[in-house]
Structure 1
């Protein structure tokens, strides 16, 4: 063999070796995962990726066949952890696109709450050390929160301020007047408090409320996911259940009417109540009876705004939750439950439908007002009047107790009239409505607005929706004839000036005027004290507000 032939032989040898290596690599690669799933030919460009993955911006992962001769370097160096991370990353892209994002497991396991760089295991600053259990609940919420929630909401200073301000500033619940204090909150209760404090707190925190609302909704949904961290019941199941139910109740107070899923939340709360309420309740137990009343009230208020049938029974099937039939909230709940059940499913326009423009002006024309309807509605009104008289006298002069009783009376009175008028075929937005027909409705609506001006403890969504509803009724009544045959006329209602209000003062609606009182169903003196005595001096404030 000549010297001139030796390089060619070496080249042939090297070429054969490269061909063998390339063949083994191609045999090992066969096709990347993406091409294999799509049953497409995998065209390799370079040593890192195929043409399809490069164009799609996806990682090109080659899985060797079982009989592969060799493993390519890109596969041999691809560890199991890398593969899992990549799969989770691609899954996150799909979930974000579909709006069903789950928590970023990789990042949640490696980072703690955004508190300025405190990782797990290090000591908290002195200002945070007393709230150690709070951070545990917050970390559970953060690990399960949607990826769309910004990290800024998990800043420890923000969480601490919202948590403390809720206990300092928020009034007691009317079904649970004594404030409940929790040194170790459960995640769902914390989510409700963070949302409530940001929504009803200082204006500069309103921007963060939608993010906490997303956290809250996700936390409630996690209750229905088996083995999720939020649905996992700890050893102290009674305390966990009480706090979780209370969290749902607070969430319901903030979302009545506006979030239809509130009804589903109420059902979850009732199921937890039936499962975890202890058989024997004494003075050392949590206030389970009052918590049951709270679930009932949220259910009734939500049903009132949507005119739907309540789902929580009046009588609890558990003896430990039963209360006296003379109890104030039991009496109110019973009459509301009976009335709502009777008028549900009649096709009547609901209070909330007027805000969403989903009601037809002729929706109530197909209903026939029967003698049974008249008996039910008048008995409802009579019981509500008797309830006011009885529990106003039993409040022993306490200003707070009197305010709560009168607030419930005024709001529920307006609910009854909002059902009564459509059921009888009266359209409050029509030009044909007579003074006799609208007298009692306008009187109740004005009382509701005055209630808002003098009761600073109002914060639940039911109260605010009813006050807004009352304002629409008053404006429509003052405008006089602005209503047309369709609901779009509300957009054309002119806000009256102070001169108009002076001409249409409360004295114009004084009780005892000569008119047909066949439309009236309530005791004429029920609102007298509020409308014409101690609050009369602040009537000008009302006029200014409406103007």
Structure 2
């Protein structure tokens, strides 16, 4: 070969590569890539294993070995080369889907970001949690049918959300001991990511709707035979752990969606079935906290039923001995009285609490005209049991101050549920001709107590609590319109409204719905009516007390004269209360 011909050969660096493979010259493994060969252009080294031309055009840079290659093993494409090849394939696939109308095209930047997310390095503090990344991979591989941003799969983001979950997760009153998992199952993982992103800073809260869509996809696949989510492990211990984590994931998602998502009732049914199938026959100290988990599912079921006035799914008595608790248990007694009352009024044509947020005008009720003596007896028995429950667990010697705070909060909120049956039956009109002054007094007093719960406690976050407090605010605004308000009522309502606006509101936008409804009612209130001369003391009215539902002692206990009002400087005993 002449020197002139040799100069035309492709070179890398300062060394020449000859086609004939003469002795004494070490041939290079990397030759011209396929794209440069087709265009008969010189192949120049670029970024890593990619030549300059392919790097600029975003094409897969593939080198084909020749017979004189020194090391064929060096020619295996790197992970970066594979990632760029995947980008090219994904771009073409999404273009085809766009033409067929079955998908949305992804931009080159998004596709590149997606490929980088696939090859992210595991955070150093979570490198030992291999099961975490396996669960994440399972979620990602089964979410090809939904459109979510690639950022939710970034391992740095996932690692941060996973690590911060315990700090952002408030204590649960049915499971105060926080659970830890080193090998999370996919459905629990996405529920934790959804929960942690909602309660995180704004940049992570933006990802929560995407994690919610992934959760919906996961729980849907849970009901598909032989899917990656419906296949439990092979050994018995692993099956129990899989079921416990799956149910706990449903509980976490239910707490954030029980009001605005009607399908929460279906999730509860799935969780209940998993508990029945996989709870061990003998629950001891070495087992997971199945009793408390069952109590949590039961509470969410009753809260969901109280908002939508649907029949509870979970029975009043646990069917398995390992799930049963003493009838003297605080949550058990509360659940039993709620189950009895809600079951009686289900299917009676009564407008639900949630319907008052869905529609501007109250729905027509069939209960007001057909209210029987049995209905009145059920209401009075329900109220009597709730009063006894408050007296028993708020004065117990064994209970701590924190426990008494929680008991009082649950009493106030559940009292609103009982009184709301009368209120919705009368078209949600406090000043209806069928409402007696005693009923008005009792309902306004309960609403005032409920709204002040949020004034005194910044830790309230659960959907059910927020809906009930907003519901109480709407009732209190009716009282203000009828000259039955107190001087601090509007301030308390505005504090609650401000706290709703401060929360990171993920889709399906529960806070937005509550804010819109409360803002609309506030605009209708004539604030000039709120003055000292307009206040009435209903306890001094000489009226028939036959409609006095709750015991007078409970009404006296709900005297909030010692509570601080919005803007007060002194601290209160409710500051440290938690869910």
Equivalent runs, 1:352-391 vs 2, <5 Å: 352-357=354-359, 360-364=362-366, 367-391=369-393
Q: Deviations over 1:171-203 (max 9, x none)?
A: 221111111111221111111111112223333
Contact 1:476–1:493 under 8 Å retained in 2:
no
Contact 1:381–1:413 under 8 Å retained in 2:
yes
1-structure distance, mates of 2:102, 2:431: 47
Partner of 1:314: 316
Secondary structure at the counterpart of residue 526 of structure 1? helix
Q: Deviations over 1:300-356 (max 9, x none)?
A: 100000011111111121111111111111111111111011111111111000000
Equivalent runs, 1:26-105 vs 2, <5 Å: 97=102
Partner of 2:452: 450
Tell me: CA distance 1:219–1:363, structure 2 relative to 1, closer, same or farther (3 Å).
same
2-structure distance, mates of 1:140, 1:158: 17
Which 5+ residue runs of structure 1 have no aligned equivalent? Answer: 1-83, 102-106, 543-547
Partner of 2:472: 470
1:447 positional shift? 0.6
Aligned: 1:169 with 2:160? no
Secondary structure at the counterpart of residue 342 of structure 1? helix
1-structure distance, mates of 2:137, 2:397: 44
Partner of 1:526: 554
Partner of 1:37: none
2-structure distance, mates of 1:473, 1:95: 52
- Count how many residue pairs are aligned between Structure 1 and Structure 2: 440
Contact 1:299–1:310 under 8 Å retained in 2:
yes
Tell me: CA distance 1:501–1:291, structure 2 relative to 1, closer, same or farther (3 Å).
farther
1:299 positional shift? 0.7
Partner of 1:249: 251
Partner of 1:198: 197
Higher relative contact order (CA 8 A, sep 6+): 2
1:518 positional shift? 2.7
1:511 positional shift? 4.7
Tell me: CA distance 1:90–1:227, structure 2 relative to 1, closer, same or farther (3 Å).
farther
1:141 positional shift? 1.6
Tell me: CA distance 1:112–1:337, structure 2 relative to 1, closer, same or farther (3 Å).
farther
Tell me: CA distance 1:458–1:91, structure 2 relative to 1, closer, same or farther (3 Å).
farther
Tell me: CA distance 1:85–1:192, structure 2 relative to 1, closer, same or farther (3 Å).
closer
Partner of 2:58: none
Tell me: CA distance 1:232–1:365, structure 2 relative to 1, closer, same or farther (3 Å).
closer
2-structure distance, mates of 1:114, 1:531: 57
2-structure distance, mates of 1:87, 1:492: 53
Contact 1:238–1:277 under 8 Å retained in 2:
yes
2-structure distance, mates of 1:498, 1:234: 66
2-structure distance, mates of 1:361, 1:92: 45
Secondary structure at the counterpart of residue 196 of structure 1? helix
Tell me: CA distance 1:534–1:488, structure 2 relative to 1, closer, same or farther (3 Å).
closer
2-structure distance, mates of 1:113, 1:401: 49
Partner of 1:39: none
Equivalent runs, 1:139-150 vs 2, <5 Å: 139-145=137-143, 146-150=145-149
Tell me: CA distance 1:489–1:402, structure 2 relative to 1, closer, same or farther (3 Å).
closer
Equivalent runs, 1:59-458 vs 2, <5 Å: 97=102, 114=117, 117-118=119-120, 124-145=122-143, 146-235=145-234, 236-357=238-359, 360-364=362-366, 367-394=369-396, 396=398, 398-423=400-425, 425=426, 427-428=428-429, 430=431, 432=433, 433=435, 435-458=437-460
For residue 500 of structure 1, the aligned residue among 522, 527, 530 is 530
Superposition TM-score, scaled by structure 1 size: 0.73
2-structure distance, mates of 1:315, 1:94: 56
Partner of 1:8: none
Partner of 2:25: none
Which 5+ residue runs of structure 2 have no aligned equivalent? Answer: 1-88, 106-110, 485-516, 570-579
Q: Deviations over 1:369-396 (max 9, x none)?
A: 1010010000000000100110112263
Secondary structure at the counterpart of residue 291 of structure 2? helix
2-structure distance, mates of 1:95, 1:400: 60
1:539 positional shift? 5.6
Partner of 1:51: none
Contact 2:470–2:518 under 8 Å retained in 1:
no
Tell me: CA distance 1:219–1:345, structure 2 relative to 1, closer, same or farther (3 Å).
same
Contact 1:195–1:209 under 8 Å retained in 2:
yes
